[in-house]
Amino acid sequence: MQVIITANASAAAAHAADIVERTLAELEAPVFGLATGSTPVALYQALIERHRHQGLSFAKLTTFNLDEYVGLPPEHPQSYRHFMQRELFDHVDIEPANTFLPDGMSDPLEAGNAYEALIEGHGGIDLQVLGIGRNGHIGFNEPTSSLGSRTRVKTLTRDTLEANARFFAPQEFQPSLALTMGIATILEARSILLIATGEAKAEAVARCVEGPLSALVPASALQLHPKVTVIVDQTAAGRLELRDYYEFAAAHQRELHQATPGEAP
């Protein structure tokens, strides 16, 4: 696991955008896993700017989102399909037919298997983008989720419901169920990029990177993956015990890749 500590949230988004751009350039038909939530928005804004001003193209990209609320149609303003259209898809040259999310209006007991088959049919995910919840969840894999889980329905915790309540009007229906890629599904991605910013995520980041492997902290399962990059700003890195080492290692990685141009970190 490579931990990169940036000066601020803007720098974290820019570094993440560099990785996304490089991966797009390296692959003929890239397949990305994408995330929703507040943290990825800055990444998507950076990618939109590069599309508009630097010619970054998404025309060959296929995407699979991590999750979707059960019971919300795609056109609902709080659905994750609507979020992705608003925050990314409507602003770049991606083919609409190549953007996939779990179907929150289908039979939830069948939708998971269908989504798994769809991902497999596209050859698997090359780069999975993740955020992290304050309780350590990735996707909607809440604490105690099986580390071997596949795409399925999950009941959201009170903490997650409270964190997301700000997006819903006081009397508006807020789903307590979601379809989410499982932890095993996420771990099958060829590479993983986790972004976290802000002091509120510091404890979750520390437990993900340095804590014991535990179903109580689903993100800790990323320790099992051979190619994970964790990008955090100064405040999200605030509780990392080995922070000095990560900064020391990052400096040496930069020197290594400067000596071997063309290779991705």
Catalytic residue numbers, as ranges: 67, 135, 137, 142
- Tokens representing residue 35 in the block: 């995330």
Exposure on the CB side of residue 120, measured as CA atoms within 13 A? 9
- Give kind and range of the element (H or E) at residue 18: helix 9-26
- Residue 77 contacts by C-beta under 8 Å, 6 or more apart in sequence? none
CA distance 224 to 211: 13
Sort 46 into a burial class: Cβ within 10 Å, 0-12 / 13-18 / 19+: buried
* C-beta of residue 141 within 8 angstroms of C-beta of residue 66: no
Q: DSSP label at 217?
A: B
